[in-house]
Structure 1
Amino acid sequence: MTRLSHLFVHVSDLDRAKRFYVDDLGLAILMEETGYLRVGGADGFHMGLEQREPSQVGSVGIEIVIQVPDVDAAYQKLVERGHQFEAPPTDMPWGARHAWLKDPDGYPLSIYS
């Protein structure tokens, strides 16, 4: 069966990305090698982070979306850790509650529950 395995993202500072995605957002480390980190959650979808030169980082037209158990609690934790959001968590017409911010390399990111 064909399935989506993981998203692959180029980052300019792997240690900084690891702090954000693992320490701040709470994703689990699934694989770690020199210059590469794979993180994931409970459902099996993964994100590979590979360190690259700043000129190779960034992409228009993508948004990373991460489901959290409680978006309000995650929002508060991230704000306390110095992350800036576009706005506080908001109820969306499709039934989810979202808050948007950017990761350390400027990739748009949404947390929701």
Structure 2
Amino acid sequence: MYPTMNAIDLAVADMDKTIAFYAKLGLEFKVDASMPDHASCDLPGGLHLMLDTEQFRASYTPGWKAPSNGSRTFLAFEFPSPAEVDAKFQELKEAGAKEVTAPWDAPWGMRYATLQDPDGNGVDLYAPRPST
């Protein structure tokens, strides 16, 4: 039997700033009243996205330290249209997100863009391009 991968946990430097960033993508995190250094959000399809402060993560993962040279994590968000990718990219950039790759037409048939969340995790925005 294989395990079910049903959750992603991100270690964050500033819980409020990270929650505000992902709210702009439509995610609604709930902070755990008994553990204020932990928040979670249920996503469609049964996936669960969690946020833990760096201090909380380090308290239960001996030896863990926040990466100093960037992240290896990219969360990808699909949009219904290329125009919505462009609009959301601009909105997030104007709100202070760091641009990694401006929207472009990828050869695999998608409109694609990448930004960073407040902790440097990659956030991909994409939509299928209409067939020509």
TM range (shorter): 0.7 to 0.9
Query: What is the root-mean-square deviation of aligned Cα atoms in Å?
Result: 2.4
3-state SS in 2 of match to 1:87: strand
Q: Which runs of 5+ in 1 are unaligned?
A: none
Q: Quote the Cα distance in structure 2 between the aligned partners of 1:109 and 1:86.
A: 9
Q: Quote the Cα distance in structure 2 between the aligned partners of 1:4 and 1:71.
A: 27
Q: What amino acid is the match of 1:64? A: L
For 1:78, the equivalent position in structure 2 comes to: 92
Instruction: Name the stretch that deviates more: 63-72 or 11-20.
Output: 63-72
Q: Which runs of 5+ in 2 are unaligned?
A: 59-63, 128-132
For 2:44, the equivalent position in structure 1 comes to: 42
Q: How many residues align?
A: 111
The question of 1:56 aligning with 2:65 is answered yes
The question of 1:20 aligning with 2:29 is answered no
Q: Quote the Cα distance in structure 2 between the aligned partners of 1:64 and 1:71.
A: 14
Q: Quote the Cα distance in structure 2 between the aligned partners of 1:80 and 1:61.
A: 24
3-state SS in 2 of match to 1:15: helix
**Identity level (%):** 29
3-state SS in 1 of match to 2:98: coil
For 1:32, the equivalent position in structure 2 comes to: 31
Q: Quote the Cα distance in structure 1 between the aligned partners of 2:91 and 2:113.
A: 13
For 2:5, the equivalent position in structure 1 comes to: 4
Q: TM-score, normalised by structure 2?
A: 0.69
The question of 1:67 aligning with 2:69 is answered no
Cα drift, residue 93 of structure 1: 1.8
Higher relative contact order (CA 8 A, sep 6+): 1
3-state SS in 1 of match to 2:88: helix
Q: TM-score, normalised by structure 1?
A: 0.79
Cα drift, residue 37 of structure 1: 1.1
